[in-house]
Amino acid sequence: MVPSEAPPEDGRLRVLIEAVSPEIDAGAYPVKRVIGDLFTVSADLVADGHDVLGGALLHRRPGESEWRSTALREIVNDRWHADILLDEIGLWHYTVEGWVDHPATWRKHLAAKFAAGAFADLPLELQIGAEQIAAAARRASGAGASQLHQLAAALRDESIPVDTRVVMALADDVGEVLAESPDRALASRYGRTLAVVVDRVRARFSSWYEMFPRSCGAPGKHGSFRDAEERLSYVADLGFDVLYLPPISPIGSSFRKGKNNTLTPAPDDVGSPWAVGSPDGGHTAIHAELGTAADFRRFVRAAADRGLELALDIAFQCSPDHPWVDEHPDWFKRRPDGTIQYAENPPKKYQDIYPLDFESTDWWNLWQALKGVFLHWIGQGVKIFRVDNPHTKALRFWGWCIGEIRAAHPDVIFLAEAFTRPKLMYALAKLGFTQSYTYFTWRESAWDLRTYLEELASPPVVEFFRPNFWPNTPDILPDHLIGAGHGAFALRLVLAATLSSSYGIYGPAYELMDNRLRPGSGEYLDNEKYEIKTWEISRPDSLRPLIRRVNKIRRENPALHDNRSLRFHPADNPFLLCYSKRTEDRTNVILVAVNVDPVYRQGGHIDLDLGELGLAGGASFHVRDLIGNGRFLWHGSRNYVELDPSSVPAHVFVIEPT
Catalytically active residues are 388, 417
Report the distance separating Cα 311 and Cα 317, nearest Å: 19
Left if phi > 0, otherwise alpha if psi is -120 to 50, otherwise beta: which for 36? Answer: left
Answer whether 342's CB lies under 8 Å from 255's CB.
yes
Which residues are within 8 A (CB) of 277 and not within 5 positions of it... i.e. 6 or more apart?
A: 249, 250, 252, 283, 318, 319, 321, 322, 323, 324, 325
Rounded CA separation 64/195 (Å): 13
On whether the CB atoms of residues 29 and 464 are closer than 8 A, the answer is: yes
Task: Work out the number of other CB atoms within 10 angstroms of the CB of residue 268.
Answer: 10
Residue 51: phi and psi, rounded to 5, are -70, 155
C-alpha 198: how far from chain center: 10
Bridging pattern class, strands 413-417 and 435-436: parallel
In 3-state terms, what secondary structure has residue 582? strand
Q: Give yes or no for a contact between 416 and 435, defined as CB atoms under 8 angstroms apart.
A: yes
Q: Is 107 exposed, middle or buried (0-12, 13-18, 19+ CB in 10 A)?
A: buried
Amino acid at 46: V
Q: How far is CA 81 from CA 17, 44, 46, 73, 274, in A?
A: 12, 9, 14, 5, 48
52-to-78, 103, 140, 450 alpha-carbon distances in Å? 11, 9, 20, 44
Report DSSP state, residue 637.
S
Q: Is 7 exposed, middle or buried (0-12, 13-18, 19+ CB in 10 A)?
A: exposed
Least Cα distance to 575 among 550, 601, 556, 536 occurs for 601
User: Which residues, 6 or more positions from 350, have their beta carbon under 8 angstroms from its beta carbon?
Assistant: 274, 275, 342, 343, 344
Q: Which of 66, 62, 64 is nearest to 35 (CA)?
A: 62
Residue 224 and residue 517: Cα distance in Å, rounded? 28
The 3-state DSSP class for residue 489 equals: helix
Question: What is the helix, strand, coil percentage profile of the chain, to 5?
Answer: 30, 25, 45
Cβ contact 486:518 at 8 Å = no
Kind of pairing between the strands at 16-21 and 38-46: antiparallel
Q: Which amino acid is at 22?
A: P
C-alpha 167 chain-centroid distance: 52
Contact predicate 153/126, CB 8 Å:
no
Please tell me the distance from the alpha carbon of residue 63 to that of residue 17, in angstroms, as a whole number.
Answer: 26
Distance CA 291, CA 226 (A): 8
